[in-house]
Amino acid sequence: MIANGRWLPCLAALVLSWLSPSTAHAERPNILLIMAEDMSPRVGAYGDQIARTPNIDRLASEGMRFERAFTSAGVCAPSRSGIIMGVHADSWGAGHMRVTQGGYAAVPPPEMKAFPELLRAEGYYTMNARKTDYQLDVGMDGFLGGPFTIWDDTHVDDWRGRPDGQPFFAYLTLEGTHESQVWPTWKFPRDLMQLAMLPMRVANHSRWIHETDPADVQVPPYYPDTPTVREDIARHYNNIEAMDAQVGLLLAKLEQDGLADRTIVIWTTDHGDGLPRAKRWPYDSGIRIPLIIRWPGVTTANSVNEELVSGVDFAPTILQAAGVPIPDYVQGRVFLGPGTQPEPEWIRAARGRIDEHDDRVRALRDRRYKYVRHLIPDQPYVLPVAFRNTMPMMQEMNELSESGALEGTPALWFRQTRDTEELFDTATDPHEIHNLAGDPAHAEQLERMRTALDQWLATSGDLGLLPEEELAERFWPGGVQPVTAMPTIEERDGRVHLASTSEGASIGFSLDEGSWQLYTTPFPMPHGSEISAKAIRYGWAESGEATTSFPDREPR
């Protein structure tokens, strides 16, 4: 008999022993995915002269910088949903911003699993730093954690709590560059939202290393050049420098732990700048991201990759790096390392409902041109969004527009109806100001991209094209969240078998009230222990817990 409390380490060893030789190999790389929030390539390594990012710049000098990396949406939850599955969010029902505000959680097809769960099933220790935000859960609007089977630990800042020698996948979100952190620190809050987030902002701003001079920043042409706009952009740079220091601490920990040579480090962001006309939009300001990877033995120092990369490519690339099979449903491609696949002709992006306002926008981008289609053109570009409207520069632009004082390029975004189609040459017009859709000289390019988007919409199963009420009814009939069936616990031939009648359910188990483990295959009966099991179908409510006690071994 193994005494209570001593079973889990033994079980972990048994689990590792059951893995196939390929997945149990000690040389599997650790993978550290560091994701900053709401940030375009405002990094020294990308040529930004204002940015103070010495740690990220060093990472770039030691690895590979990607010049054409994009997310599949310009806002956090749909973008992160595409990343976690390797499938465009609209293809499985997570394309709207905060699907919980539509009265449901996204329910992917039963065979679809978040890629960290696939890593966990193959012996990786998976962890994240609180924020996940991939629309599979309803707690805290889906911000935190998500289905319990995905992660070994959901509230950690590093990998040091894992079992010795176990390879890890760490998904660490650095929240200091979030849109909300651009709001002024000490100005009297104008609304409850500003007041509620004030403590986090004060704590974050206390980590500022320097303060950027607003006179030094570059103001994009789609903003009016005012002191308010400059001050907001300057605070964004202050936050970026503080975030860079956090990256430096993580890299130093890898060195201290002797893991730098065995760890793939990926630094990126969840979408572009958290500023107006950037965040929430499929323009490059909203979807172009910095991406830097240091992969020992694969990337070379200070190298640059010019290929198109999408957020949906992260999952297959990481799975391939870990030696884990890539599911057939994945829409992304392996863009680096063993089994690298060819660059696609396009990357795709989308915008659905944003908080309280319905919208439908789809976009394609190749290495040079961006095509945008507004499926609801008879409405303004700028729809009221309470969270965004807390930004001082957004408040100012709204006031200028309402008074008729907003002129020139900044006024284009405030038009009351939209161009149904937009075509931009990003080589000559990187800010995507001049719509070429009506230019006969670009008619062939327009038709080529129009046809490609039509084909994608016809073949991708874009659920975002459905009325959201129909989508909600599909996932939660009658507005009620389905509940995953409680798993059964059976002993057969000296092994424990767990099963749930809910198709696609993931199952977890716990021994003697220990941590929850992912169930993948029958395991030896834990004599003298109590086992609890519960199940979760993504987007549904967790099942109740089934509990069984196993007797001690009979004396010989």
Last-in-domain residue among 476, 507, 529: 476
- Could you tell me the pLDDT band of residue 141, with boundaries at 50, 70 and 90? low
Which among 11, 51, 75, 76 is annotated as catalytic? 76
pLDDT at 100 (0 to 100): 92
CB 550 within 8 A of CB 525: yes
Looking at residue 379, which CATH number applies to its domain?
3.30.1120
Residue 205: is its pLDDT beyond 80?
yes
Last-in-domain residue among 343, 371, 395: 343
Q: Give the residue-averaged pLDDT of 270-279.
A: 98
- Could you tell me the pLDDT band of residue 22, with boundaries at 50, 70 and 90? very low
Residue 14 falls inside a structural domain? no
Residues 445 and 332 in one domain: no
Cα 472 → chain centroid: 22
The Cα 77–Cα 286 span in angstroms is 13
The half-sphere exposure of 502 on its side-chain side, counting CA atoms within 13 A, is 23
Residues 510 and 465 in one domain: no
pLDDT at 518 (0 to 100): 98
Q: Which domain holds residue 57?
A: 31-343
Residue 385 falls inside a structural domain? yes
Residue 2 falls inside a structural domain? no
| Least confident piece of the model among 97-106, 116-125, 217-226, 249-258 | 97-106
- Could you tell me the pLDDT band of residue 142, with boundaries at 50, 70 and 90? low
Residue 192: is its pLDDT beyond 90?
no
Contacts of 444 (CB under 8 A, 6+ apart): none
Residue 138 falls inside a structural domain? yes
DSSP secondary-structure letter at 153?
B
- Report pTM: 0.94
Residues 470 and 495 in one domain: no
Residues 305 and 400 in one domain: no
CB 428 within 8 A of CB 415: no
Residue 1: is its pLDDT beyond 90?
no
Looking at residue 307, which CATH number applies to its domain?
3.40.720.10
Residues 132 and 232 in one domain: yes
Residue 10 falls inside a structural domain? no
Residue 75 falls inside a structural domain? yes
Residue 290 falls inside a structural domain? yes
Instruction: Specify the number of domains making up the chain.
Output: 3
Residue 179: is its pLDDT beyond 80?
yes
Would you call 541 helix, strand, or coil by DSSP?
A: strand
pLDDT at 551 (0 to 100): 83
DSSP secondary-structure letter at 305?
E
CB 250 within 8 A of CB 33: no
Residue 118 falls inside a structural domain? yes
Residues 318 and 433 in one domain: no
pLDDT at 15 (0 to 100): 43
Q: Could you tell me which residue, 493 or 348, shows the higher pLDDT?
A: 348
DSSP secondary-structure letter at 391?
S
Tell me the backbone φ, ψ of residue 506, rounded to 5 degrees. -95, 145
One DSSP character per residue, 228-265 reads HHHHHHHHHHHHHHHHHHHHHHHHHHHHHTT-GGGEEE
Looking at residue 538, which CATH number applies to its domain?
2.60.40.10
Residues 461 and 427 in one domain: yes
Residues 441 and 524 in one domain: no
Residues 36 and 79 in one domain: yes
Residues 197 and 76 in one domain: yes
Residue ranges of E strands in 282-358: 288-294, 303-310, 347-351
Residues 536 and 414 in one domain: no
Residues 450 and 539 in one domain: no
Q: Give the residue-averaged pLDDT of 469-482.
A: 97
Which amino acid appears at position 124 of this protein?
Answer: Y
Last-in-domain residue among 343, 375, 402: 343
| Each residue's pLDDT tens digit, 409-452 | 999 999 999 999 999 999 999 999 999 999 999 999 999 999 99
Q: Give the residue-averaged pLDDT of 90-107.
A: 95
The Cα 221–Cα 431 span in angstroms is 8
Residue 76 annotated in active site: yes
